[in-house]
Structures are given as structure tokens and as C-alpha cells.
Homo-oligomer: A and B are copies of this chain.
Amino acid sequence: MPENENNRLKRGQAKLQEVDAEAATNVMLGLTDVAPDIATYIEEFAFGDIYSRSGLDLKQREMITVTSLLTQGDTAAQLAVHINGCLNVGLTKQEVVESFIQCLPYVGFPKVLNAVAVAKRVFASRK
């Protein structure tokens, strides 16, 4: 059944707040002047379509997200958002770090060390 576009947007905005809270608002605001459509696509597609799917819970989805960001490299800003996201949805700090350690045989030490450095800053900021 065809869906009204406003539903995707509203569902996405709600899901984005549920996962990424304050950090999400900052990313969206930073796009307002230069590329507001990208903010809309994040809300509609990334969160309205993908994050809202059933089949995996939010802890699994955020664990997958930080793993993909770690593996890509050059994602410090997004890792900060989503490490916070991991903690927001109920993963523990130990589970976040353990996910990074699991990547060691698959990406080597540099990318894991870079992600751990971001995690340190996020953990410190949440005290």
C-alpha cells in the first residue's frame, strides 16, 4: 500500500531522535544552509526506511553501524555520533569496545585504534 511521504519523514525523525538524540540535531543543523536535502534523506531513508525495519533490534543495528564506520576509516565525526547511539540504545561501553576488538583480525590495528580513540572521548563526555 503506497505510503504518504510525510509518514516516512516523521517516522525517520522520531527514530533518529531515539537513536542519536542531541548529536543528530547537530548534524541536521550543520546541513541546513548548504545541503538541506541531505538532512531530509537521512531522516527519510536512513532512519525512516532502514533503521525502522524489523528483523534486527536497535542494539544490533548500532553495532553494525559502528563496525562499518570503523572499517571505512575517516569517520571520526560519525563514529562519535554512533558510539553515543550505541550507549543510547542500551549497549554498554564494554560491548562497544569489544565490538572494536572483534574487528582486529579483519582490519588490523590502525583502524581499531582510531575508533577506540573516538570512544575514549565519547565516554569521557558522558560522565
Chain A interface residues toward B at CB < 8 A: 2-9, 27, 30-31, 33-35, 37-38, 41-42, 45-46, 49-50, 53, 55-56, 60-61, 63-65, 67-75, 77-78, 94-95, 97-114, 116-117, 119-120, 123
Chain B residue at smallest Cβ distance from A27: B113
**Which of B71, B109, B114 is the one whose CB lies under 8 Å from A67?**
B71
Report chain B residues within 8 Å CB of A105: 42, 45-46, 50, 108-109
Chain B residue numbers with a CB within 8 Å of A68 are 67-68, 70-71, 103, 106-107
A-B pairs, 3 with minimum CB distance: A2-B6, A46-B105, A55-B98
CB nearest to A82 among chain B residues: B106
Copy count, this protein chain: 6
Interchain CB contact (< 8 A) of A104 among B9, B41, B75: B41
Residue on B with the closest CB to A10?
B2
Q: Please indicate which of the listed interface residues A31, A34, A60 has the most CB atoms of chain B within 10 Å of its own CB.
A: A34
Question: Are A116 and B64 in contact, CB atoms less than 8 angstroms apart?
Answer: no
> In the bound complex, what is the Cα–Cα distance between A110 and B2 (angstroms)?
27
Chain B residues with Cβ under 8 A from A120's Cβ? 30, 33-34
